[in-house]
Amino acid sequence: MQDSPIICDVDVITFIESAKSNPFFHVLPIGLALFSINGRFIYCNKAYLDMFDLPEDVAGRHVSDYFLTGYRGVMECLRAQEMVICPSVTNTSRLGVSLRYPLVSRTGDLRGVLVLSLSPRMGRDAVLALMDAAQTLNTWSGQCKLGVNGLCTFECMVGGSAAMKNLRRLGRRFALSQEPILIAGESGTGKELVAQSLHMASPRADRPFISVNCAAIPHELMESELFGYDKGAFTGARAEGMKGKFELADTGTIFLDEIGEQPLPVQAKLLRVLESGEIQKIAHRGALRSDFRLLCATNRDLRAMVMQHLFREDLYHRLSVFELVVPPLRERIHDLPMLVHHCISQCVGKERARGIYLDDEVLRAFQQNFWRGNVRELKNVLTYGVYALEEGENILTMRHLPVRFVREIQGSGAAGEAVQGGAGGVSGMLAEAGAHAERKILQDTLETFQYNKVKTAKALGISRSKLYRKLRERGLFSGHEKEPRENAQ
């Protein structure tokens, strides 16, 4: 579950007015509410009012006026400035499952809390539905504040693991500086998406973002591509000359991907540009100034290259003032549910994606695979598998996956290793995340009703026997009291 704040550049009132005019909020079947930094209602949609049986004039009232869980939910979200998931229980025992997101400005100022709520009777479907809504809201909020320009933001990055949470936290802080940032990570981890997010989180967000793949440019053309040239600079040059990437990035951001592929002579000129801010175009008299922010990325060990005299040490220290390491997929395996859902959605759309499942063998293979190609490899495998489904099929099995991938899995024995719990498919992959959420919901609801099992079961809309079974499954049953019979209510 994505747990980063939603970034909101405008003030809360403007944000709400924009929300009210967006049709998404009116047709949303999920309860939605916004609270001020003091925990007071600012806005609720109809689904939220109906779910908790709240009056229409709730605006301005404090969350604790209606909710027993107010200080564990909205107020805790305000305090920690992190996503909080727990039941919402009203004073009249109306219950919902809620995600609470802090609304934070790009300068780090807390603006309020956004709450998404569903009925707990939906079980894990509620978790999936909330995840869909959260992704839609993140996308909408990014477009609302920055305009549609196709660039990724930290809010749109998929993943709620500790590694991704730390990446977003540091990224937002580093983005506010003007110093270079070095993005390190294996191939396929999404380094360019991180670079785009850094640009969008910076004061230069509405200025040019120039991306350069250094590995794709022949060494003999690197200098002219980066710094440009005047007319008549060399045979075959454009008659009018050409602006270099650094000149095009004036007032904005330039991103040099695969910086380790830069030849040493170009590295020397790049260092000079960083130190002086001046560009020397080929065959141009005098220097041009460019106000740019430099981001770089590499999948190579630049320190080792320095020791091997393949990369300038002074340039390395100049580039690595801030360094962000993008974790490989195998180190954020708990993000698999969201990543699988996201990748399939990109292939066939969200509605179709909700009906596509992975069988147990594929699930085991995905969880145990080394993923040398990281998220890019995962997306390729899922894209192949989705389009390999026959008409009427909705379960991905090993026979739907690329032959090369299956052979690698069988060779490593990953597909045969045991996996803890969970059914197949996207819902199955959500089993672990769903289990944690379910345990927290059970625990919080028990505390709300002072461990009264009858009231807890009634609030959750389940029988006492099912409640006891759930408590035992989630390790919350003490065993000091007798369980009711199966037909007990």
pLDDT tens digit string along 113-158?
Answer: 888 887 765 555 555 555 555 555 554 444 433 333 568 888 778 8
In this prediction, residue 45 has a pLDDT band, given cuts at 50, 70 and 90, of: confident
Mean per-residue pLDDT, 159-163: 81
209-213 sheet: strands from edge to edge: 209-213, 253-257, 293-298, 181-184, 322-325
In sequence order, the β-bridge partners of residue 112 are 103
As given in the structure block, the two tokens for residue 194 are: 């991180």
Residue that has been written with the tokens 């590295």 in this structure: 267
Residue pair 131/434 in contact (Cβ under 8 Å)? The answer is no
Residue 406 has pLDDT above 70, yes or no: yes
Q: Comparing 6-147 with 162-325, is the CATH topology the same?
A: no
What kind of fold does domain 332-431 have according to CATH? Helicase, Ruva Protein; domain 3 (1.10.8)
User: Which sign, positive or negative, has the C-alpha torsion 336, 168, 191, 310?
Assistant: negative
What is the value of pTM for the model shown? 0.60
Rounded-to-integer distance, Cα 245 and Cα 265, Å: 17
Instruction: Provide the pLDDT for residue 430.
Output: 40
Which of the pair, 171 or 415, is modelled with greater confidence? Answer: 171
Instruction: Provide the pLDDT for residue 79.
Output: 82
How far apart, in Å, are the Cα atoms of 259 and each of 146, 294, 336, 441? 28, 11, 29, 47
Helix (H) or strand (E) holding 18: helix 12-21
Which of the pair, 486 or 476, is modelled with greater confidence? Answer: 476
Residue 293 has pLDDT above 90, yes or no: yes
Which of the residue ranges 117-126, 211-220, 357-366 has the most confident prediction, judged by mean pLDDT? 211-220
Instruction: Provide the pLDDT for residue 346.
Output: 80
CATH number of 162-325: 3.40.50.300
Residue pair 344/425 in contact (Cβ under 8 Å)? The answer is no
What kind of fold does domain 6-147 have according to CATH? Beta-Lactamase (3.30.450)
pLDDT in tens, 368-405: 888 999 999 999 999 999 999 988 888 889 999 999 99
Kindly list the domain boundaries of the chain, sorted by start residue.
Answer: 6-147, 162-325, 332-431
Instruction: Give me the amino acid identity at 66.
Output: Y
Instruction: Give the three-state DSSP class for 477.
Output: coil
User: Which sign, positive or negative, has the C-alpha torsion 233, 234, 238, 242?
Assistant: negative
Instruction: Give me the amino acid identity at 69.
Output: T
As given in the structure block, the two tokens for residue 113 are: 């809390």
Helix (H) or strand (E) holding 174: helix 162-175
Going by C-beta distance under 8 Å and a sequence separation of 6 or more, which residues neighbour residue 145?
7, 8, 9, 10
Rounded-to-integer distance, Cα 270 and Cα 214, Å: 13
Rounded-to-integer distance, Cα 280 and Cα 278, Å: 7
In this prediction, residue 11 has a pLDDT band, given cuts at 50, 70 and 90, of: very low
Mean per-residue pLDDT, 232-244: 74
